[in-house]
Every structure is written in structure tokens, then in C-alpha cells.
Amino acid sequence: MDNFLITGGCGFIGSYLAEELVKQNKKVFVIDDLSTGSLKNLSNIINHKNLNIFIDTILNQHLIEQLIKKVDFVFHLAAVVGVKKVMESPIDSIIVNIEGTKNILKFCAKHRKKVLITSTSEVYGKNVNVPFSESADIVIGSTKKKRWSYACTKAIDEFLSFAFYEEYGLSVIIVRLFNTVGARQTERYGMVIPRFTKQALSGNPITIFGNGEQTRCFIHVKDVISTLLKLIDKDESYGDIFNIGSDEEIKIKDLAFLIKEITKSNSEIKFVDPEEVYNKGFEDMARRIPDLSKLRKTIDFQPCYTIKDIIIDVVEYYKKQSDLLPYFC
């Protein structure tokens, strides 16, 4: 496969994927509406002859079909993401995430193209039976809680994907991404490690939503990219679903202290009510840990980056940002 389409290719994960494919001398088409992505994310390859960028929405059916016809494989990463973004714009989240994915699946099926659909650990919802296996039940909160709309849209995307696989023979892989982190990730939409890091480096309070006892597992974006590229080369991946993440669990309050230690920051650690930030409709999960046994069996998966490696990478990135320079001077 020499020609690839990446929807959401100006986003955090998409830009790393585009870089790696261009590095492998593949021709890459990117479509992104820049609602959460940025052309700056592609600055390392922006003028490369193998990169073609289209600033548009995945709701543009005509353009999507034309781009899919040009390529051998589609990585569908475009979505309205981030808890804060979803809480602020639930309608956009629902429409873009479902209608956009339907467009991708429809035209991939029509033109017999292979596709990888990125889903999310959010679909496990309030399930407490950790670690989460891919066959685990989905336990979603009340529809009065806006926080769950994103999880529901991605669950519908998964149902659609399997329907196209069964009814049209579409070659599709679904991956559920757990907390993916690395340089270039913004803190604007609620991503916790970039937010804690920027707060620590600027000397502001490190704000923990809730009591900090909730746990998460974090994986470096480069580990995610290498995993995606290995999965698409395995015939047994198609028509199936895989968790991608780390099972190195850490409490959010311990994460805050670790970031404070690594940055040598004097920031105080402050606990705040999540509804002060997200308003009503927010709910959190106590633990979110992936079962990675299927992934390990399929591609011999083993992340290269530890949680400390990830934090150091993010810290070094934010140290270079101009708005933090006065703190270091």
C-alpha cells in the first residue's frame, strides 16, 4: 500500500501518523477542518512532495469520495474529541462523529478500500470490571449527562463498521485508543498530562478534578502509531477490534505529584469540583485499564515508553513554547 488518506491528519495523533508514512516514502492525503487540529502539527513535513492537505470537513461527501478513490488505505481519525469540547458542543460531536464515519465507511465499501476506524476507551463507560476486554459490556450513563454523548457516537461508529464488514465485506479494523499522549498535544480540551505539565511549568496551581483517586493508563503517541501500522499488515486484524493503550496504571493525584517532581515546580496541587469546569452533565470513571492480551497475541505488542518517558517528552515540548519562556528566564 503506497497511498493513504488520514482524516483528522492535522490533529495530534494524525500528524504523527502522517509524518511516519511520509518518512516511509508513502503518498499521504490529509483532510482536516482544523476545528481541533492545526497545520503547525505538520510543520515538519508541510512542504514534502508526498503530502497533500485538504482543509475541509468529513461531511463533504463529494470530496471524501474523491480522496478515497485515490488511495489504497484510509485511517479515519477525524472526530470531535476531548471532554471539554464534547461538553461545550454536544450537537457537533454527535453529527460529525456519526455522519462523518458513515461517509467514510460508505465510500470505502463502494470503492473496495481498506479502512481503520479509531474508537475510544470511552465506550466502556461506567463499566467497573477492569481490565476492559474488547468483548466487555458497554455501560453508559444517563442521556441527561452530556458527557456520555461522545461514547455513544463512537459506539455507533463501531456498530456501523461491523455492519459494513458483514453486509458489504468491507475490510475494516476498529481500534479503541486509551489515553494517548506526547509532544504537540494541547491541553485545551481537557487532556490531563498537557494541562498538568503546563500548569507546573508556569507556576500555576495543578488542578485535579475530583479527589484524584481515579486511575488512568497513558501510552505514547509513537507507540500508538507503530501499533496501527503493524495491525493493518495483519490479515487477522480485519473484521475485529483492538484495545491500544498501556496497562501501567496511575492515580491522577500521583500523576500530578510526579509531574511536579519532574518539572521541579513549586506549584501547589489543588482539588476542584469537576462541575466548576464542565458544568452539569459531567461524570467521571474510577478506573480505565485495557486488557491488551488480544493485541499482544496479534502483533507481539510492547510499548517502548513508560509514564515517566511520556511526561519528560511533554515537559521538553512545553519548555520550548514561547508563552512559558518568562518562567524559565
Q: Is residue 162 part of a domain?
A: yes
Nearest to 120 by CA among 90, 148, 143: 148
Residue 204 inside a domain? The answer is: no
pLDDT of residue 87: 75
Residue 110 lies in a domain: yes
Closest among 165, 185, 127 to 318, alpha carbons compared: 185
* Series of mean pLDDT values for 10-residue runs along the chain (329 residues): 96 97 98 94 97 98 98 95 73 91 98 98 92 94 86 95 98 97 84 94 94 95 98 98 96 97 96 74 80 96 95 94 50
Does residue 135 belong to any structural domain of this protein? yes
Question: Which pLDDT value is given to residue 242?
Answer: 98
User: DSSP string of 110-138?
Assistant: HTT-EEEEEEEGGGGBT--SSSBPTTSPP
Residue 8 domain flag: yes
Q: List, in sequence order, every residue forming a beta bridge with 73; answer none if it has no partner.
A: 4, 114
Question: What is the pLDDT, as a whole number, of residue 328?
Answer: 42
- Output the pLDDT for position 325: 45
Q: Which residues are catalytic?
A: 150
Reported as half-sphere exposure (CB side, CA atoms, 13 A), residue 227 has a value of 31
- Return the DSSP state at 245: S
Q: What is the pLDDT of residue 261?
A: 96
Query: Into how many domains does the chain fold?
Result: 1
Domain that holds residue 99: 3-181+219-244
DSSP line for 26-79: -EEEEEE--SS--GGGGTTTTT-TTEEEEES-TT-HHHHHHHHHH-SEEEE---
Amino acid at 266: N
In a domain, 16, yes or no: yes
* Residue 212 forms part of a structural domain: no
**Domain for residue 314, yes or no?**
no
DSSP letter at 291 equals: -
Other CB atoms within a 10 A radius of the CB of residue 111 amount to: 13
CATH of the domain at 115: 3.40.50.720
